[in-house]
Amino acid sequence: MESLKPGLRSRCKENHLQCQHPRKYPDELRERAVRDVRSTGRPVAHVARDLGIHKEALRSWVRLAEADAGERDDRLTSSELEELKQLRKENAELRPANEILKAASVFFAQEIDRPRTRPSR
């Protein structure tokens, strides 16, 4: 699979394909918006409107920043989300391998159980 370019991320899950979608908002804008909400105490909707960001997108960024700072325990942190993503990817890669191993073990078990006949002379 090709690696993702900066600013692009994968959203496609069907058939284990990686689709690239551009991020709607640059990382710098995300960081600035979260910093504005957290430092000024202004409502998320007001900061979002001023910066031209969808308020729910900003709200989720603020929640993630709070989780990363240890201020909330009802959300996964960025590192936990990344680990979960990696584990899901690994799990998706291991499932087909396990199916192959199961099929091979059934095949070899049948070979062992099959009676052996001596070659006739």
Structure tokens at 19: 């689709």
pLDDT at 116 (0 to 100) = 73
pLDDT at 13 (0 to 100) = 52
pLDDT at 15 (0 to 100) = 47
**2 pLDDT tier (thresholds 50, 70, 90):** very low
The answer to whether residue 3 scores a pLDDT higher than 50 is: no
pLDDT in tens, 36-89: 999 999 999 999 999 999 999 999 999 999 999 999 989 999 999 999 999 999
Nearest to 2 by CA among 29, 23, 20: 20
pTM summary value: 0.61
- Which residue in the block uniquely carries the two structure tokens 């991320």? 9
What CA–CA distance (Å, rounded) separates 21 from 8? Answer: 5
CA distances from 29 to 64, 72, 75, 79, 116 (A): 15, 23, 22, 21, 73
**20 pLDDT tier (thresholds 50, 70, 90):** low
Please return the burial class of 71, using the count of CB atoms within 10 Å of its CB with bins 0-12, 13-18 and 19+: exposed
What CA–CA distance (Å, rounded) separates 31 from 108? Answer: 57
pLDDT at 109 (0 to 100) = 87
